[in-house]
Amino acid sequence: MRLRRPTDFLLLEALAERGRNVAPNLTHHTGKSRKNINTRLPVLDDYGLVDKVGPAESSGLYELTELGEAALAHRDSYGQVDDFEALIEGAEADAAPSQKPTPADRARTDGGNCLARTDADGAESD
């Protein structure tokens, strides 16, 4: 796993703070170029740090994964440990489900507007 600092961590942070989002909004939130964001999001998706979600395959909507949350939590260790990927995978496995919300537990957002809140089974709740 080869991450680019600060861009990749800025993307993860923006998704953690603002929920699901698209490249134009992430460009604004991170201050990085659209080209840079469009290059890095698929790489982060390949690493399992973000997921590209629908409704359409070409929507360009991304959300942070649990592995991405672990990477963000351990970003100070990146470049200082021999195997960052093993570190964050171990941290993800150690996190108790009751302590760490899943993406389905979080409010679904689109550009900062709440769309729906779902429970762990994916059912919408108030």
Mean pLDDT computed over 73-94: 88
Each residue's pLDDT tens digit, 98-123:
444 444 444 444 444 444 444 444 44
Q: Would you state the pLDDT for residue 86?
A: 93
β-bridge partners, 64: 50
Tell me the mean pLDDT in the region 41-54.
Answer: 93
Fold designation for 7-97: Arc Repressor Mutant, subunit A (1.10.10)
Q: What is the percentage of the chain residues whose pLDDT exceeds 70? A: 73
pLDDT at 97: 53
- The domain locations on the chain are 7-97
Global model pTM greater than 0.75: no
- Helix axis angle for 66-73 and 7-18, nearest 10°, is 120
pLDDT attached to residue 95: 64
Tell whether the model's pLDDT for residue 49 goes beyond 90: yes
CB 65, CB 50: distance < 8 Å: yes
Q: What is the mean pLDDT of residues 74-94?
A: 87
pLDDT by residue (tens digit) across 3-43? 999 999 999 999 999 999 999 999 999 999 999 999 999 99
Nearest partner of 31 among 10, 9, 17, judged by Cα: 10
